[in-house]
Chain A
Amino acid sequence: MLGSAYYRWQHKYAPYLFTAPFLLTFAVFALYPMAKSLVLAFYITSGPKSQVFVGLGNFAFMLRDPNFYVAVKNTAVFALFSVFLQLPLSLGLAVLLNAKFLKLRNAFRFGFFSPYLLGQVFVAVLFSVIFAPRLGLLNRALAAVALMPSNTDWLGDPDRVMPALVLTALWMYVGFNMIYFLAALQAVDKDLYDAAAVDGAGPFQRFVHVTLPSIKPVAVFVVVLSTIGSFQLFELPYLMLRNGPGPEQAGLTIVMYLYQKGFEAGDLGYASVVGWSLALGVLGISLLQMRLAGTWKRET
């Protein structure tokens, strides 16, 4: 009797018990901070101890804050490079490493994926040395083929900071995104290729009419994920540019600006406004991407 009551109790409450740790953690570390930051957005603060209500003052200040627009522009440029340069390269690599004629495919797959395992801090330190003027590996290589003088200051020249960041991110993430595409490619129904071949489709036509439509859901997922990741860019430029935004703020990103305002200047209110703008912006862009790709449909 007791056993059956206990069994019923378990079945009734077990789901709540198992989800409770997540829900509790989510409430404490996500929901509460979000709600608190929404309230803070209406205050000017000096750390969490002192705050003065300013209504929409922070929002008005953001709209005329040139630094915020610099951060948005830099982040958007980086995101565009991520989507239009990094992802096609990832897809190309995936197609190449999915080809049956290639030997040592697994070794290549691991080789391209491995930079991701290093982590952003290590990669930032590594590339700071590679981009060093005069003695950096990149300058040495470029000088060797006589393309540029050897003292190009990649991280000290505002025109070169973004290319340096894009190159670094490319090295780190191209293999990571390749894995998604590779998994999608391996799931494409082989019969579709056979049927297309019987209909006379060449390799390019098979890629356009069979491969791309088949991997579209994964591709959209990777695009959205990559866009969100790009808009969260912080560690790479912060460390590569010596804890700052670099020359003429060429490496200032939205999250770096948020960090500067909130945790260096102590203006948590303004940082909250920047944070909410980022969240809403990323949400809008992601929805737009899904809408354009036709993968966002109302459930019926």
Chain B
Amino acid sequence: MQTQGATRWEAAMDRLGDWFPFGKAPLIILLLVLVSGGWLLLHPVKRTQATLRFWTFADTHYYAYLNAKPSFEAAHPGQTVDFQFVHGQAVTTRLRAAFWANLDVPDMVEVEISAAGSFFRGPSDDIGFEDLTPRLKAEGLFDRMVKARFAPYTHRGRIYGLPHDVHPVMLAYRRDIFEAEGIDVSKLQTWDDLIAIGRRVTIPDKRYLLDFPDASPSGLEMCLFQRDGGYFDSGGRCIMDSPVAVETLKWYIPLVAGPNMIADDPGWGQPWVKAVEDGYLLTFTCPDWRSKFTEQQIARMAGKLALMPLPAVKPGGRRTSSWGGTMLGLTKACPNKDLAWQLAKHLYLNPEELAKRFRDTNILPALKEAWTHEAINEPRPYWSNQPIGKLYAELAGDVPPQYASPYIEFAKGKLSEVVSSCANYYKKNGEAGFAAFAEARLKGAADEVREMMKRNPF
């Protein structure tokens, strides 16, 4: 029986060989291709059926929006929202590709402030976001929200984003160590006051007062904003080498480099956590979003940290700056723009929702009328019982504007080079020739940005 079966099998193989003479392996590959291809054709990935598709890059926003979703859908029967949490870097690259290809464009998307300008390149018709100016005017939102926060999302007089936040910056400090050192923060009114303390308490390689970096622009740019400097002015002109910028750079570098440095950048994540816990860092710049991040990452510091306004440049001057931000844009591809606008208002302009969200995120909303809500004014045990929402709100009206430009990322890269090269120069040469070097380096960087801008024919 067995022999008969084997013979039949061999005969079948011979017939198959006549029909398909390229061997068994190619035949198996062909069959696999046909079977898997057929299976994929019969089981396509299900398309989202939601009325609105919304991308956000921040997990805190995402979970808060999921909580706000039922009330919106209940108020709009038959309409559904699909919130999607997309990594920050992926939002930028995927959204850019989606705009370019007119493919898979979400209806609404939150974009980080430093990436927003890159979406305003080219002719206005090519910008993938809807111009929100008429809707903002109709709703009277310019007066209800912090006006300075529209600037980063404005290009050629059109506003493409609704500001999610204000992000005033305060200084978080190790209250326990400050008290042990006899430092009275109420007397630290200016940067000069703080720097004097820094010179006293800093122990090289063991303890530093500030967390300003010497190889990236975040610290310098925050100080620049506080002094009404920045990358671009309201007309889109590059002001990176303005007198304010030169003076700020010359003031900043000796804080982060050289023998009298009082700042060190331990990096992000665990190294930063350990630096705060170990008392290696006595203070760190703390916009509202970072205060929640701190609570989550350095839980062991509960009750040992407190917040104070940034020192002013001159007595009576601005006691804050700005770091970070998010805009909500409606895409031109969205077929239900009115509904999308309703959702935007539900998420960004509903004081009750905003107050609830503040408890989850510590992010002060850009809507001023929400700041009086009790959730924003309650004391926080983690922050030594300070009412941190109230503290941030008191500074929010004074937050400096940042102006948008399609060249903002390039300019940031150039400023980063300037900071790094000036810090290296200062480490090697000290004050000798530093002022001229810093000025020349800043001018060179600004000229590069201008050269790049000149290439723009649109």
Contacts and interface: CB of A to CB of B under 8 A. Distances in A.
Contacts of B417: 247-249
B193 interface: no
A49 B121 CA distance: 11
Interface in B419-449: 420-421, 424, 448
A267 B452 CA distance: 11
Please tell me the size bucket of the interface on B.
35 or more
Interface residues of A, number: 40
A6 to B, nearest CB: 9
B271 A133 contact: yes
A153 interface: yes
B100 A151 contact: no
B270 A50 contact: no
Given A156-B215, A243-B89, A134 B271 contact: yes
A134 B268 CA distance: 12
A246 B458 CA distance: 30
Interface string A32-45: 00000000000010
A244 B413 contact: yes
Contacts, number: 97
A49 B266 CA distance: 43
Contacts of B271: 132-136
A48 interface: yes
A158 interface: yes
B142 interface: no
Nearest to A149: B205
Given A46-B121, A156-B265, A266 B96 contact: yes
Nearest to B417: A248
Contact of A151 (B205, B215, B274, B409): B205
A150 B266 CA distance: 12
A135 B126 contact: no
A156 B99 CA distance: 34
B458 A50 contact: yes
Contact of B420 (A3, A52, A158, A267): A158
A46 B458 contact: yes
A264 B213 CA distance: 25
Interface string A260-274: 000111110000000
Given A14-B22, A135-B270, A244-B413, A44 B457 contact: yes
Interface in B80-120: 89, 93, 96, 99-101, 118
B123 interface: yes
Contacts of A48: 100-101
A61 interface: yes
B21 interface: yes
Interface in B228-270: 264-267, 270
A133 B266 contact: yes
Contact of B409 (A54, A66, A264): A264
Contacts of A61: 455
B288 interface: no
B118 A264 contact: yes
11 contacts: A3-B18, A14-B22, A18-B26, A46-B123, A134-B266, A134-B280, A135-B270, A136-B271, A158-B424, A245-B413, A247-B416
Interface of B: 18, 21-22, 26, 89, 93, 96, 99-101, 118, 121-123, 126, 205, 213-216, 264-267, 270-271, 274-275, 280, 409-410, 413, 416-417, 420-421, 424, 448, 455-458
Interface of A: 3, 10, 14, 18, 44, 46-50, 52, 54, 61, 66-67, 132-136, 149-151, 153, 156-159, 243-249, 263-267
